[in-house]
Structure 1
């Protein structure tokens, strides 16, 4: 699935039209905390990583990021592409041509 396709499909589940940016920013922080909680339990409580739960929480983070970008009229593909370009500039020795 392409990033822009994901962004558009995910947008169909966005509820409401007021305070969308704030709602998504707070949701992103909350779901990021859920990812961190899974990792914390794995690292310090010696629990199984629970891959399925981690995938779910990471999906929630992805959803919120895609909707913040949508709100700002930024194609999600642009976010991903620009990030890779930045990483290639920062770590050129780690990328092959």
Structure 2
């Protein structure tokens, strides 16, 4: 699935009023925290990393990101493309440890 295709499909489930941006920003923070909690439980508590739950929570993060982009009238593909361009400039040969 392409990013813009995802953004359009996800937008049909957007709800809210003039506070959509605030709701999406708060939701993004909340869902990101849930991803962090899963990783923390795996890393520090020795719990099994539940991939299905991780996929679910990362999907929620993706939804909120896509809807913030939608609100700002930014095609989601543009965000992905810009990020790759930034990474390519920052790491033209890929990431290499300085050790």
Q: TM-score, normalised by structure 1?
A: 0.96
Q: What runs of 5+ residues in structure 1 fail to find an aligned partner?
A: none
Aligned-residue offset at 1:17: 2.5
Aligned-residue offset at 1:77: 0.2
The CA distance in 2 between the partners of 1:88 and 1:71, in whole Å, is 28
Aligned-residue offset at 1:22: 0.2
Residues 49-70 of structure 1 show CA distances to partners (whole Å, capped at 9, x for unaligned) of 0000000000000000000000
Q: TM-score, normalised by structure 2?
A: 0.94
Q: Which runs of 4+ in 1 moved over 3 A?
A: none
Summarize the alignment of residues 83-94 of structure 1 with structure 2, pairs less than 5 Å apart: 83-94=83-94
Q: Number of paired residues?
A: 95
**Secondary structure in 2 matching 1:74:** coil
Summarize the alignment of residues 22-41 of structure 1 with structure 2, pairs less than 5 Å apart: 22-41=22-41
Give the superposed CA RMSD: 1.0
Cross-structure match for 1:48 = 48
Q: What runs of 5+ residues in structure 2 fail to find an aligned partner?
A: none
Summarize the alignment of residues 1-97 of structure 1 with structure 2, pairs less than 5 Å apart: 1-94=1-94
The CA distance in 2 between the partners of 1:8 and 1:78, in whole Å, is 14
Residues 17-41 of structure 1 show CA distances to partners (whole Å, capped at 9, x for unaligned) of 2200000000000000000000000
